[in-house]
Amino acid sequence: MTALPRRPVKFLLNGIETTVDPDRADITLLNWLRQDRGMTGSKEGCAEGDCGACSVVLARRDDKGTISHQAANACILFLPMIDGLSVTTVEGIAGPDGVLHPVQDAMVTHHGSQCGFCTPGFILSLFAGWRQGMAWQRAEIEELLAGNLCRCTGYGPIVTAALSLADVAPPEWDSGRQEAEKNWLKAHNKTDLNTGEEQPFIAPTTRSDLSHAIADHPQYQIIAGATDIGLWVTKQHRKMDGFISVMQVEDLAKIKETKDHFIIPAGVSHAEAHSKLAADYPPLDALWQRFGSAQVRASGTVCGNIANGSPIGDLAPAFLALGADLTLQHRDETRVLPIDQFFLGYQKQDRKQGEWLAEVTLPKLATDEKFYALKISRRFDQDISAVMGAFCLKTDGGKITNIRIGFGGMAAIPSRAPKTEQALLGHDLTQPIDAELDASLTAALDQDFTPIDDVRASQAYRQHMAKNLLIKALLAGASDAPNADMLAGFSDQTKAILETNMGAAE
Ligand SMILES: Cc1cc2nc3c(=O)[nH]c(=O)nc-3n(C[C@H](O)[C@H](O)[C@H](O)COP(=O)(O)OP(=O)(O)OC[C@H]3O[C@@H](n4cnc5c(N)ncnc54)[C@H](O)[C@@H]3O)c2cc1C
Ligand code: FES
Ligand code: FES
């Protein structure tokens, strides 16, 4: 493939068209804002996508002309990744003559800020909700703000401030800004990007050019949302030779649907997949609500989560249970691999040099299949799994005729549980789980896995939890609607926990 012409990164920054030609592609948007532009409103708390102090709002237009606004963590976004987007920072929120934006006014009126370190991030997350026309219901506010940490004010006044926005009409100047942003995004189609003299960042706009660029430059890191790679730079100080981004290809950003499958290409973010697949896979809906934060889901991709091959990634166990296929591409050749053949060892996958993960194909659930995905982590939001179990059961008259189990956190790779699956074939879900079955499941799981002790969980905890998740899935499978009777005998606190997880398992 001939090299793409070099050009600077071009974007809208608080309504002003901006071009930058960075030497190194791995300069983060946050460092560029603060150090090069002196825009110090966005703060650095953790530099790893956890605290939300660096939140900015990115607006983008899709191929149908729809404009979306999402908060993103500027600390793990590299500057070339905002090419063609509109970026709003806390400096660009207030109106003419410094009049407060309604989201700022609400925070002041309801005492939502003390030290103020977290405040710019909260303001930007609220602004993303404002631009998206959110209804300001408590549950969606909590989801919107789960990626913003505050240690002084407490969340009560912040949530009250957000709730008050339901009754506020947009001022004229705000609507005018939104219109100008829309016009700029409409006038700027995605174009090939090749920037960074010292450390290149290449982002072709066609799938074929992308594939050839990856094969031509195997030394460059394939990059999607950078929610993993960003931390390699900010925390591990790794120096990559260059990057090739999958995110400029319009065709890779949308989920496709056939009669029996959903196809998730490389550029599809978790937020996009969540909104499109929630109704067909309710357990994935519940899982995505607990995947990182709104900021992480807006940037991170489904394929990045699989390609990264982390043993504690959340989607791999779910996709193992669903029996997903992966399409791997090298130049213009593709091959299809069942996901359970992809993970070979710790950070080692069946992916040849120059090959990339083009799409994940998910089978639709059949009417006689039951699917459960259960995540155990220390916090409900914004936390990596200690153990993640996913179960897909096919039954006939209550008897299990086929079962696929996927576990994360139990081995060096996300993995099926072949002995346990074998032990459950023919099990009648309507029969109680007696001591004999319990013992056989313990023995089978012991044969399938020897988990490690680490900071997230001990080996014993992981083994115990894996069996509990399995039993929970079997109990849920025994009844189409898990009900209060099944929980009789538990304390109210335990019931609340079980009901939450049963809900996730429905
Ligand atoms: C605060 C925070 C919270 C998080 N919470 C969770 C969580 O709850 N659950 C969870 O599972 N993960 C979580 N993550 C991890 C991360 O968000 C996911 O793994 C995400 O899906 C990675 O996707 P990405 O597009 O950002 O990948 P990137 O960071 O861009 O890339 C990750 C890896 O995948 C490779 N890659 C990306 N796309 C392709 C492709 N198409 N073909 C080949 N290789 C490719 C890259 O080369 C790199 O090796 C969290 C991360 C952060 C920072
Ligand atoms: S500084 Fe904490 S999320 Fe960016
Ligand atoms: S007001 Fe101090 S951290 Fe939020």
| pLDDT of 478 above 90 | no
Instruction: Say which ligand is closest to the CA of 231.
Output: 1
Q: Residue 505 — very low, low, confident or very high, per pLDDT cuts 50/70/90? A: very low
Please say whether the beta carbons of 311 and 413 come within 8 A: yes
100 Cα to the center of ligand 3, angstroms: 19
Please give the number of the atom of ligand 2 that sits closest to the Cα of 52.
3
6 Cα to the center of ligand 1, angstroms: 27
SS3 percent helix, strand, coil of the chain, rounded to 5, is 40, 20, 40
Supply the DSSP string of 71-97, one letter for each residue. Answer: EEEGGG-BGGGGTT-EEE-GGG-S-GG
Question: Distance between CA atoms of 217 and 229, rounded to whole angstroms?
Answer: 18
302 Cα to the center of ligand 1, angstroms: 8
Binding pocket residue ranges, ligand 2, CB within 6 Å: 44-47, 49-54, 73, 75
Q: Is 111 in the pocket of ligand 3 (CB under 6 A)?
A: no
Looking only at the bridges linking them, the beta strands covering 86-88 and 9-13 are parallel
| pLDDT of 413 above 80 | yes
Class of the CATH-defined domain 250-363:
alpha beta
Q: And the tokens for 208?
A: 């074929």
**Which ranges of 309-345 would DSSP assign to H, the alpha helix?**
315-322
Question: Distance between CA atoms of 154 and 147, rounded to whole angstroms?
Answer: 14
Q: Left (φ > 0), alpha (ψ -120 to 50) or beta: where does 154 sit?
A: left
Residues 28-87 have pLDDT tens digits of 999 999 999 999 999 999 999 999 999 999 999 998 999 999 999 999 999 999 999 999
Atom 19 (ligand 1) nearest CA = 305
Per-residue confidence (pLDDT) for residue 452, from 0 to 100: 86
Please give the number of the atom of ligand 1 that sits closest to the Cα of 76.
53
Instruction: Say which ligand is closest to the CA of 266.
Output: 1
Atom 4 (ligand 3) nearest CA = 150
Report the residue among 296, 330, 380 best suited for mutation to probe ligand 1: largest number of ligand atoms under 8 A from its CB: 296
| pLDDT of 174 above 70 | yes
Please give the number of the atom of ligand 1 that sits closest to the Cα of 269.
25
Instruction: Say which ligand is closest to the CA of 112.
Output: 3
* Residue whose pair of structure tokens reads 């130049």 in the numeric block: 331
Q: In CATH, which superfamily holds the domain spanning 100-170?
A: [2Fe-2S]-binding domain (1.10.150.120)
Q: Which residues of 144-158 are buried (b: 16+ CB within 10 A; e: fewer)?
A: bbbbbbbeebebebb
56 Cα to the center of ligand 2, angstroms: 11
Class of the CATH-defined domain 9-91+186-245:
alpha beta
What percentage of the chain reaches a pLDDT higher than 90? 87
Question: Distance between CA atoms of 146 and 140, rounded to whole angstroms?
Answer: 10
Q: Is 148 in the pocket of ligand 3 (CB under 6 A)?
A: no
Looking only at the bridges linking them, the beta strands covering 221-223 and 243-245 are parallel
Domain ranges of the chain: 9-91+186-245, 100-170, 250-363, 369-505
Atom 3 (ligand 2) nearest CA = 49
147 Cα to the center of ligand 2, angstroms: 9
383 Cα to the center of ligand 2, angstroms: 15
50 Cα to the center of ligand 2, angstroms: 6
Question: Distance between CA atoms of 286 and 372, rounded to whole angstroms?
Answer: 10
Please give the number of the atom of ligand 3 that sits closest to the Cα of 153.
1
Residues in the chain, overall count: 506
Please say whether the beta carbons of 372 and 476 come within 8 A: yes
Question: Distance between CA atoms of 265 and 196, rounded to whole angstroms?
Answer: 27
Atom 48 (ligand 1) nearest CA = 308
Residues 489-498 have pLDDT tens digits of 455 655 555 5
75 Cα to the center of ligand 2, angstroms: 5
Please say whether the beta carbons of 342 and 349 come within 8 A: yes
C-alpha dist (Å) from residue 59 to 39, 277, 488? 19, 22, 49
223 Cα to the center of ligand 1, angstroms: 9
Per-residue confidence (pLDDT) for residue 506, from 0 to 100: 33
Summarize the confidence of residues 354-361 as an average pLDDT: 98
Please say whether the beta carbons of 13 and 204 come within 8 A: no
The candidate with the shortest Cα–Cα distance to 124, out of 44, 43, 55, is 55
Residues 373-402 have pLDDT tens digits of 999 999 888 898 999 999 999 999 889 999
CATH number 3.30.390.50 is the correct assignment for the domain at 369-505: yes
Instruction: Report the DSSP beta bridge partners of residue 326.
Output: 337, 360
Residues 120-144 have pLDDT tens digits of 999 999 999 999 999 999 999 999 9
Please say whether the beta carbons of 256 and 241 come within 8 A: no
The sign of the dihedral angle between the CA atoms of 10, 12, 13, 15 is positive
Per-residue confidence (pLDDT) for residue 432, from 0 to 100: 81
